[in-house]
Every structure is written in structure tokens, then in C-alpha cells.
């Protein structure tokens, strides 16, 4: 039974305020959770409540969300058994009363939802992944590690946001993490050798000032080889262009690839060329969130060979995922709990994906905290893939290291089977 609910403002990995919630249960269990925050957010994400008080943190304070937790959510939840997650999440949605959690704030609601789940697991002395996923939750995900950052995550002139490596040929999660980390260090060496800066972006990937996106792909292939791995067979590449961020009235603006903006069809051809030239296994948000037909065209053209993922397109919301199913827009869905705002609704989005035969890929946000909830959640939901940034910066390692712990805890029971063809 929930006996207390406290909240406070903390700072995320970009140094902006976010919400941390602490739940107390009868019997003495105390558990906390904190909420991440995106930079390249989808238009239809659940509402992240910010104070708008320009005298504090440029208006980005979250004291209103904190107050909403303590003054409104706490009195409504105290006395309820923490194991009743669906009811608790539904109560918070009803209390909020809006379509997109705009009144209380999705950051307030998610913080409570996560902390309640963690407290409940703790009180039952169960690991969180098992509490959320049951005893069949034994599959460790392939880490998709973002080793070159661009777009809204780095001011280096690259328009596309994420260049990830996927060590899908590794035999275990820990080996995959090692393959990825070694490649990350090999890339650092190449950048130093070629005279590029080795500072990192928001997700811990390097943020060199390259000529264009193609150069990033070439560097990654060289890094995989330099680390001693076979590109494609052992380590593949995944992209998240986050294309909404370079889409305008004239089309897609990619100055590194040509002076004028290009159409959806032209961009589709660019990707087709890259898929042939590089071992790419997954493209997320290759087109703007409003450009549904371009997604469908790409899925029809290459969806049998590679994974096409919708992130901003779906914002983890069953309403948009259903449209994606109807229009065959993609063959996979990105899952970010804070886009929808509760544990229960995140699980519902995944169940919809499962029923429709869509893959799903768990994800952190670019603004993160040291909270590792999403690592357990990814194992619980057994989707087999997780993107958590580069193997660099504490908030990214918190997740990757938690997955190592889960793997050790499961021991011989741990499963690792890549959703990608090796
Ligand atoms: P965000 O980026 O957290 O800044 O939205 C991650 C992504 O686009 O997948
Ligand atoms: Zn994305």
C-alpha cells in the first residue's frame, strides 16, 4: 500500500531540470525514479510540463510538475496497493483529464508510474525486469550504440541525428557491449588520426565536423574493421536521421549532400544507395513525422531486408501505431515510455506491436538521468533491441551496466538472439 509520495526537481544529463519521484509503501519499502527528456521530440508526444518562468532555468523548471505530484497525485494514490499498476496509471490519467497529460504533466505522471512499479517490485523482492515481464523475461537486447551524434544532439553540421553500431553477431549481450565499446575506441583513434575533434554529443557519441553524413558511415565501417570485426556479419549499422528536424517547406535540407532541399523520393534514393553501400540494418525516422507515404514507400521497397522504425511518427501511442499498421508505414516501432506517459500505456503499445507482427525497439532519451529503469523494462518486454547511446557518459552507462548485471543474475538462463540476420 502506498503511504507516501514525494517529488523534487533534479538535473538531467544536459543540465536541465527534470522530475524525481520517491514512493513509500507500508512495510518500509522506499523507491525512486526519475524522468528523461527528449530534444528532437515528436509533435504528438505526451506533454512535458515546464514552468515557463523565465527567471528560472530559462523557463524549463519543473516545480509545477513537482507540485502536481505532491498536491494532487499523492492524495489520490495514498492507500492504494502499489501492485495495481494499471489502476494507478488509469487514475492518474483520469485525474489529469486531458488527451495528452497536459494538465498534470506527463513528466509528473511517468515519474510516479515508474517509481510505483519499482517500489512494488522491491517490496516483492523481485528484480524489476521480472516484476514487469514475468519469469519468461530472460532475453537481453542487442545494444544499438550511437557513436556519431548530429542533428539536435550536436552542433557539428551533420543534419542526421544518430549513427549507431549494432553488434548483432556477438554471442551474448556482454560480448556485444564489448564489440561496441572496442569499435567506439577505434573510432576515436581514427578521428584523432584524421585531425577531427573527439568531443561528444548529448548521447555520448563523437560529434566531429564532417563533410556530410556519408563520411560518418565510411568512418564507422573503418572503425569496425580497425577494431577487428567484420562489418555486416558481426557489427552492422543503424541510423536515426530524425528527419523531422531537417524537413521544411522545400523538402529535406541536407547541405552536406547538395545545396538545395530534396524531395521524399530523392531522400528515399539516398537511403537506397546507402543500404547498398553500407551494412545498414535499421533506419528510424528516415522521413518527417508528417510524411507517412514516404515511410510506406520505403517499407514496401526495402522492408523485407531492413528494419524501418517509426519514432516521432508514432510517439509510442497506439492511435498512431494503428495508423501505421493500416498504412504499412513501417515494420517496427520505437518505444519511449515518456512519449506516452505511463508504464501501463507503454505495455499496451507493445502489445499492439506484437499482435500486428511489428518489431519494437526500446529507447532512452537524449536527456537522461542515472535512472536505469528502461534497461529492466527492455528485458521485461523481450523485444531484443535497445538503444542507449554510446558507451560513454554515466547516464548512458547506467543502462548498459544494468543490462550486464541482469545478464549475470540470469546466468545460464540468459537469452541473446539478435532480431537482425547475422
Ligand atoms: P530525443 O532523441 O530523445 O532527443 O528525442 C532520441 C531519438 O530521436 O530517438
Ligand atoms: Zn528517434
Which of 182, 203, 368, 407 is catalytic? The answer is 203
45 lines ligand 1 (CB under 6 A): no
Flag whether pLDDT at 405 surpasses 90.
Answer: yes
- From the CA of 37, the nearest ligand is 1
Q: How far is the CA of 84 from the centre of ligand 2 (A)?
A: 31
Q: How far is the CA of 310 from the centre of ligand 1 (A)?
A: 12
* pLDDT tens by residue, 17-29: 999 999 999 999 9
Flag whether pLDDT at 421 surpasses 90.
Answer: no
* pLDDT tens by residue, 355-374: 999 999 999 999 999 999 99
Ligand 1 atom nearest residue 366's Cα: 3
282 lines ligand 1 (CB under 6 A): no
Which of 20, 101, 152, 336 is catalytic? The answer is 336
316 lines ligand 1 (CB under 6 A): no
Q: How far is the CA of 341 from the centre of ligand 2 (A)?
A: 17
HEC sequence for the chain: CEEEEEEEEEECCCCCEEEEEEEEECCCCEEEEECCECCCCCCCCCCCCCCCCCCCHHHCCCHHHHHHHHHHHHHHHCCCCCCCHHHHHHHHHHHHCCCCCCCCCHHHHHHHHHHHHHHHHHHCCCCHHHHHHCCCCCECCEEEEEEEECHHHCCCCCCCCEEEEECCCCCCHHHHHHHHHHHHHHHHHHHHHCCCCCCECCCCCECCCCCCHHHHHHHHHHHHHHCCCCECCCEEEEEECCHHHHEECCEECCCCCCCCCECHHHHHHHHHHHHHHCCEEEEECCCCCCCHHHHHHHHHHHCCCCEEEECCCCCCCHHHHHHHHHCCCCCEEEECHHHHCCHHHHHHHHHHHHHHCCEEEEECCCECCCCCHHHHHHHHHCCCEEECCCCCCHHHHHHHHHHHHHHHHHHHHCECCCCCCC
* pLDDT tens by residue, 290-316: 999 999 999 999 999 999 999 999 999
pLDDT grade for 216, boundaries at 50, 70 and 90: very high
The predicted structure's pLDDT at residue 84: 98
366 lines ligand 1 (CB under 6 A): yes
- From the CA of 336, the nearest ligand is 1
* Catalytic (active site) residue 336: yes
Flag whether pLDDT at 46 surpasses 80.
Answer: yes
The predicted structure's pLDDT at residue 422: 62
What's the whole-model pTM score? 0.98
Flag whether pLDDT at 160 surpasses 80.
Answer: yes
Average pLDDT for the chain: 98
pLDDT grade for 219, boundaries at 50, 70 and 90: very high
**ipTM of this complex prediction, to 2 decimal places:** 0.99
Amino acid at each position: 500500500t502506498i503511504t507516501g509520495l514525494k517529488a523534487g526537481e533534479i538535473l538531467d544529463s544536459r543540465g536541465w531540470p527534470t522530475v524525481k519521484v520517491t514512493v513509500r509503501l507500508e512495510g518500509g519499502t522506499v523507491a525512486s525514479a526519475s524522468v528523461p527528456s527528449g530534444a528532437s521530440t515528436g509533435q504528438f508526444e505526451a506533454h512535458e510540463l515546464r514552468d515557463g518562468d523565465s527567471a528560472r532555468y530559462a523557463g524549463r523548471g519543473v516545480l509545477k510538475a513537482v507540485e502536481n505530484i505532491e498536491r494532487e497525485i499523492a492524495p489520490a494514490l495514498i492507500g492504494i496497493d502499489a501492485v495495481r499498476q494499471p489502476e494507478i496509471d488509469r487514475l492518474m490519467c483520469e485525474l489529469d483529464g486531458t488527451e495528452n497529460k497536459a494538465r498534470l504533466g506527463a513528466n509528473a505522471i511517468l515519474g510516479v508510474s515508474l517509481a510505483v512499479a519499482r517500489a512494488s517490485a522491491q517490496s516483492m523482492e523481485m528484480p524489476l525486469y521480472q516484476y514487469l515481464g514475468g519469469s519468461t523475461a530472460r532475453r537481453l537486447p542487442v545494444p544499438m550504440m550511437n557513436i556519431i551524434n548530429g542533428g539536435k544532439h550536436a552542433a557539428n553540421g551533420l543534419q542526421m541525428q544518430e549513427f549507431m553500431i549494432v553488434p548483432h553477431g556477438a554471442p551474448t549481450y556482454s560480448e556485444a557491449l564489448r564489440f561496441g565499446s572496442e569499435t567506439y575506441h577505434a573510432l576515436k583513434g581514427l578521428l584523432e588520426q584524421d585531425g577531427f575533434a573527439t568531443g561528444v554529443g548529448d548521447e555520448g557519441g563523437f560529434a566531429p565536423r564532417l563533410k556530410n553524413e556519408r563520411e560518418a558511415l565510411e568512418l564507422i565501417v573503418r572503425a569496425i574493421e580497425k577494431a577487428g570485426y567484420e562489418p555486416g556479419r558481426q557489427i552492422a549499422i543503424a541510423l536515426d536521421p530524425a528527419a523531422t528536424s531537417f524537413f521544411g517547406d522545400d523538402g529535406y535540407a541536407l547541405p552536406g549532400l547538395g545545396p538545395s532541399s530534396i524531395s521524399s523520393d530523392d531522400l528515399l534514393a539516398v537511403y537506397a544507395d546507402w543500404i547498398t553501400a553500407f551494412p545498414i540494418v535499421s533506419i528510424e525516422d528516415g522521413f518527417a513525422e508528417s510524411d507517412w507515404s514516404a515511410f510506406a514507400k520505403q517499407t514496401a521497397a526495402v522492408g523485407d531486408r531492413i528494419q524501418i522504425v517509426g519514432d516521432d511518427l508514432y510517439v509510442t501511442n497506439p492511435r498512431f501505431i494503428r495508423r501505421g499498421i493500416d498504412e504499412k508505414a513501417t515494420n517496427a516501432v520505437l518505444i519511449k515510455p515518456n512519449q506516452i506517459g505511463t508504464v501501463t500505456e507503454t505495455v499496451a503499445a507493445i502489445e499492439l506491436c506484437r499482435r500486428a507482427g511489428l518489431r519494437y525497439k526500446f529507447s532512452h532519451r537524449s536527456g537522461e538521468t542515472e535512472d536505469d529503469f528502461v534497461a529492466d523494462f527492455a528485458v521485461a518486454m523481450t523485444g531484443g533491441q535497445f538503444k542507449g547511446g554510446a558507451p560513454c557518459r554515466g547516464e548512458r552507462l547506467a543502462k548498459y551496466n544494468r543490462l550486464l548485471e541482469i545478464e549475470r543474475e540470469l546466468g545460464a538462463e540468459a537469452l541473446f538472439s539478435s532480431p537482425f540476420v547475422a
